[in-house]
Amino acid sequence: MSQVVVHRPARIPPPGVPAGDVMLASPPGIAKQDQGGMGWMQYALPVVGSLGSLLFVVSNPKPLFVVGGLFFALSAVASGVVMGVVQRRGQRVRVETERERYLAYLAEIREHARETARRQHVAASWCHPAPEALWALASGRVRLWERRPGDPDFLRLRAGVGEQPLATPLRLEAGARLADTEPVTTAAAHRLVEAHGRVPEQPVVADLEGARIVTVVGPPAAGRAVARALLCQLAALHAPDEVRLGVCTPPDSAGEWEWCKWLPHLGAGAPGDVDPPASLAQDLAGLEARWSSWRTGSCPGPTRWRCSGDRTPAG
């Protein structure tokens, strides 16, 4: 029986990903206008003051005094109107300035979220590579069997892709009530949180360490494809002296799993055996007998045992 010695170097750290919540600042508040008698007093005072000029005109009905009094009265009314217009315009300018400043702040947060999502994609592709990337990973030998029992991703295998939360979740600061904030910026902040709160095309992981049974349900072709991907990840990322595999399949589908006999995780020998023993069991009794022989054999027993079965439901 020939043997191939595989050197397992120290694991290369995966690409870093930012962590921690990102708390968005509260949107700007609504500038409340002065209301009540005091609010209107500043506009009414010039008009009230012009009444004195009208009394002067009534008591001195000379043409020059009439023209001067009317001019003073109209000027007082016009100054009150202009004062109100200027104040309202200044308030509108302040609101627009705060809105533009907050929207620019949200644009900066959006760029940070996109960068975090990009780095999250890179790290996910490194830690949980796609099935088509496993051949290159195993052939390179640098990352072959890189996962060890103490690693957090030991026996955590990629079962598919889907949406996952952003590594730095976006949260709105619990400040003023929603009714007290400017509606345009408030809506923009909520849209930002909803649009960038989750990252698409992220690996969906099956935890074989924590789950005793993982069942793949679906059409036979698709189910076998998922099972093959799980087995290939387990064989490429975990050493055979730490994880042992067993395959149980009925005779009519044994051809689908014939390739597994070359995996060192199924044989009782060492990695690289060119004449591996029969490794596929046809029923659970045969699989249990194979496990018993592995446990009592001369080779040291593995620390983890995992079984793969193939059964097509009737009907």
**What's the confidence (pLDDT) of residue 22?**
94
Q: Identify the three-state secondary structure at position 237.
A: helix
Q: Does some domain include residue 265?
A: yes
Q: Does some domain include residue 244?
A: yes
**What's the confidence (pLDDT) of residue 314?**
45
Of the two residues 220 and 79, the one the predictor is more confident about is 220
The whole-model pTM stands at: 0.71
Q: Does some domain include residue 217?
A: no
Q: Does some domain include residue 20?
A: no
Cβ within 8 Å of residue 39, ≥6 positions away:
33
CA distance 307 to 212: 10
| Strands annotated E in 103-208 | 156-165, 170-172, 198-207
Q: Which domain holds residue 293?
A: 239-309
Q: Does some domain include residue 96?
A: no
Tally the domains of the chain. Answer: 1
Alpha-carbon dihedral angle through residues 234, 238, 239, 241, given to the nearest 10 degrees: -80
What confidence tier does 147 reach under pLDDT thresholds 50, 70, 90?
Answer: very high
**What's the confidence (pLDDT) of residue 218?**
87
Of the two residues 241 and 165, the one the predictor is more confident about is 165
List pLDDT tens digits, range 91-146.
777 888 899 999 999 999 999 999 999 999 999 999 999 999 999 998 888 999 99
Positive/negative CA dihedral, 207, 297, 5, 275 = negative
Q: Determine the average pLDDT of the residues in 219-229.
A: 91
Q: Does some domain include residue 212?
A: no
Q: Does some domain include residue 128?
A: no
CA distance 50 to 55: 9
Q: Does some domain include residue 116?
A: no
CA distance 245 to 248: 10
